[in-house]
Structure formats: C-alpha cells, structure tokens
Amino acid sequence: MNINTIVSLSVNGIAMGMIYALMAMGLILLIRAIGVMNFAQGDLLMFGAFVTCALTVDLKLPLWIMIPLALISFAVIGVIFMFTVYWPLKDATYPTATVISTMGAAMALKEIATLIWGSLPRSMPPLMKNPKTGKAAVLNLFGIKLQWQFVLTIIVGAVLIWLVFVLFEKLYAGRMMQAAAQDKYAAELLGIPTILTTAATYIIVVIMVSTGGYMIAPIFMVSNTLGSLQLRAFAGVVIGGLGNIKGAIIGSLIIGLVESFSTIQFSQYKDAVVFIVLIAMLLVRPQGLFGEKVADKA
C-alpha cells in the first residue's frame, strides 16, 4: 500500500464520513429537541438526492437557481415532515408512537419517490466535470489523483456542520432553541415560541441531510435504496456516545474511514467490517467515545 492509496482512501472515507456525520448530527438535534430517534433520516437523504436530481437533470436548472430552489424545497419538506410525522402525536401517552411514525414516514418517502421518479436508478452528473471528456473532474495533488466530488463533499459537509455549530452556540436564537430542547415547559413559561424552535430544528435537519443526499448522488446512483446509509449514521452516533454532537461527528468519520480502508482487503464485506467495529465498540466502551454533556445529578 503506497502513499497514493492511503491518501485517496482517506479522502473517500472522510467524504463518506461527512455524509454520515450530517445524518448523525441531525439525529442528535432531533433527539435533543423532541426526544425521538428519527428512522426516516436515510430516506430524507434519498428524497433530497431525488429532488436535486430532478432540478438538475429534468429541469436543467443552472447551479445558482438550483441551490436556492433546493434549499427552499428542503425547508418545506422539513415543515411538512414535522406537521405530519411528529405534530399529531406530540401529546401521545405512549412515547414510542412517534418513533413508529418515523418508520412509517421512511416507507412513505420511499414510495412517494418511486411514484414520482420511478423505480429505476437515475444518474446524476458530478458537480465538477472535466471540460474535455465530460467525466468527473479529478484533482491532481502532488501526483495523487482525487475525485473532486469527494473533496467538495468534505468541504460542503464541514461548512454545514460549522454553520449549525455557530447557530446553536453563538446566536441568541440558537440558545433559545437549545433551551426549548432541554425543557419545553420552562421555555413556554419564559415565552420562547417552542413551535417555532421545533420547526426550525426540523428545517435545519432536513437541509443538512438532503444536502448530504445531493453531494453523494453523483457518487452512487440516485435510487430509493439510498436510505440504508442511515445505519452508518446510527453506528456513528453510538460510537460517539448518544447525545453528543462532536462525538457523533467523529464517530461517523471513523465509520467512513473504516469502511473505506476495508475495501482494500475485503471489499464485499465492508458492511460487515463497519458493524464489527460497532460491536467491538459496544463491548469495550458502551457509553461511546464521549459521554453525555449533562449528567444526572443525584
């Protein structure tokens, strides 16, 4: 194994890890805000890939119109998702009801995508093309060849994650959202509009996840099986420690790298390798790499 392979496998791994990290971060934001594990996360990613594919391939929109249009539709999907999947069940006496409802939403999204765009996988052109050949552009870094799509995925993922961190940690509105997530009753008493903070959380999560779908669409084919990628995000969340965003991001990157490097030896078994790492982690350190930020006080 030479340095070329190591670097290109790392870049591929980190790029995939970024996609998992976007999903994992969204999972934790939702767990914090409404206390529910979202099993439709992968299918939201799939849906985002289809939407952007339709905008780019079917409508042939240029990038500068496509991006704002895509963001608006992601936000609308987020709000619809909230008011159909979560809102009717928010006062349910049986808390698992909402979790089941997200599983139903996953199936519904898959079927809607099939109804609109058919069941055949569609191909999506890469963001940067080689002007001569029309194929995916390659970045030549000191003789190491890297696909631009992977490099861009890393950049877009990192920027999105950074933006969400800034929103939650630095902005007044972000702290109100954190407060509402931590104690809805107290937030209501202070006058924090909790319906707005919940909707904002859904919009942010769907934008993150769907943008992930947009970035990997050229790498995979766009098909309704993309949703299965969410298992990697779950693994990332568990490795990082449930409830810790930084941990989930690092866990997801680890999953991406493990997956990428396992293709050298056993490319067919890369899924198995990922979950062996997960099981090993659960055996050795069940609380994850990073524990909970807020401990229960006795």
Partner 1 sequence: MLKITDLHAYYGPIEALKGINVHVEAGKITCLIGSNGAGKTTLLNAISGTIKRTGSIIVEGKGEIIDKHSRFIARRGIIHVPEGRHIFPGLTVRENLETGTVNWHGFFGRQPYDKELKEVYKLFPRLEERKNQLGWSLSGGEQQMLAIGRAMMARPAVLMLDEPSMGLAPLVVQELFEKIVEINKQQGIPILLVEQNARLALEISHYAYIIDGGSVKLEGSSSELKNDPRVIEAYLGKFAKKN
x/- track of binding to partner 1 for residues 90-119 (CB under 8 A): ------------------------------
Interface residues for partner 1 in 160-179 (CB under 8 A)?
A: 172-173, 175-176, 178-179
Assess contact for 27 and 239: CB atoms under 8 A: no
Q: Which is nearer to partner 1, 135 or 293 (CB)?
A: 293
Q: How far is the CB of 252 from partner 1 (least distance, A)?
A: 22
Amino acid letter, residue 257 = L
Assess contact for 18 and 256: CB atoms under 8 A: yes
167-173, long-range: CB < 8 A, 24+ apart: 167/204, 173/200
Binding flag, residue 295, partner 1 (CB under 8 A): yes
Nearest in space to 43 (alpha carbons), one of 92, 85, 90: 85
> CB under 8 Å to 5, separation ≥6 — which residues?
264
Binding flag, residue 254, partner 1 (CB under 8 A): no
Interface residues for partner 1 in 178-207 (CB under 8 A)?
A: 178-179, 182-183, 185-193, 196
Assess contact for 154 and 18: CB atoms under 8 A: yes
Q: Which is nearer to partner 1, 111 or 169 (CB)?
A: 169
Q: Can you tell me the distance from the alpha carbon of 240 to that of 251, in angstroms, rounded to the nearest whole number? A: 5
Binding flag, residue 8, partner 1 (CB under 8 A): no
Q: Which is nearer to partner 1, 175 or 270 (CB)?
A: 175
> Distances in Å between the alpha carbon of 153 and those of 95, 160, 274?
36, 11, 21
x/- track of binding to partner 1 for residues 274-293 (CB under 8 A): -------------------x
- Helices then strands, counting H and E runs in the chain, come out as 11, 2
How many chain residues are in contact with partner 1, going by CB under 8 A? 23
Q: How far is the CB of 95 from partner 1 (least distance, A)?
A: 19
- Residues in contact with partner 1 by CB under 8 A are 172-173, 175-176, 178-179, 182-183, 185-193, 196, 293-297
